[in-house]
Amino acid sequence: MAASEIFFGPFKVTTQIFYKTKLSMAIVNIKPILPGHVLVCPIRAVARYKDMTGEEIADHALTVQKVANVIESVYGTTGATIAIQDGGSAGQSVPHVHTHIIPRKLNDFPSIDDVYARLEGPDGNVGRFLEIQRQRKAVEEQKKDFVVESMNRPPRTMEEMEAETKLLAAELEKETGSKL
């Protein structure tokens, strides 16, 4: 892993990166909607898709294609929801462009489009969850009481995310021939 820290918006994700190019990175998700739900982001912290360079967009798209192929293979799925929520009004919870890759099987949700409601609801609002966690740590350091709002899905541990990172990095290395 690179010595320098890498961020997804304000959140350090250095150990959650399982694939990286010169301009893009793929990271595991702290609160996946379905197993294998990952994110592809530009390395440069850019909030909106319209602000990415042409080179970043091309690299990002090729990275999404490569990662989606491997994710479907690893998780034994037959499709993927590939989605970008571009800006807060579109449901983007972290101000850093990111593409959700959610491996899908037939009938994994009651309705095919239920995945979008999950992305926009409390389960999908990872930015809010991480901000609450940061606030909680700050308050705990000050030895004050603080009530954290309940979120429907519990977050995964760092150990769980790092285990998935290793698995996916190995699979992408097989696919691409390049090591992270």
Domain with residue 39: its CATH number is: 3.30.428.10
Q: Quick one: pLDDT band at residue 100, thresholds 50, 70, 90? A: very high
How far, in Å, CA of 119 to CA of 108, rounded? Answer: 15
Q: Could you tell me if residue 2 is inside a domain?
A: no
98 is known as an active-site residue: yes
pLDDT of amino acid 38: 97
- Count of domains for the chain: 1
Annotation: binding site: 29, 85, 91-94, 100
Q: How much of the chain exceeds pLDDT 70, in percent?
A: 78
Q: What angle do CA 98, 128, 100 make, to 5 degrees?
A: 25
Total length of the chain: 180
Q: Could you tell me if residue 144 is inside a domain?
A: no
> Quick one: average pLDDT of 68-90?
95
> Quick one: average pLDDT of 131-139?
53
Are 42 and 94 within 8 A, CB to CB? no
Say whether pLDDT at 46 is over 50: yes
Which one of the listed residues 37, 60, 96, 98 is annotated catalytic? 98
| Class of residue 38 by CB neighbours under 10 A (exposed 0-12, middle 13-18, buried 19+) | buried
Q: Could you tell me if residue 1 is inside a domain?
A: no
Alpha helices in the chain (DSSP H): 54-75, 114-120, 126-141, 158-176
**pTM for this structure?**
0.79
The residue range of the domain holding 110 is 7-125+155-176
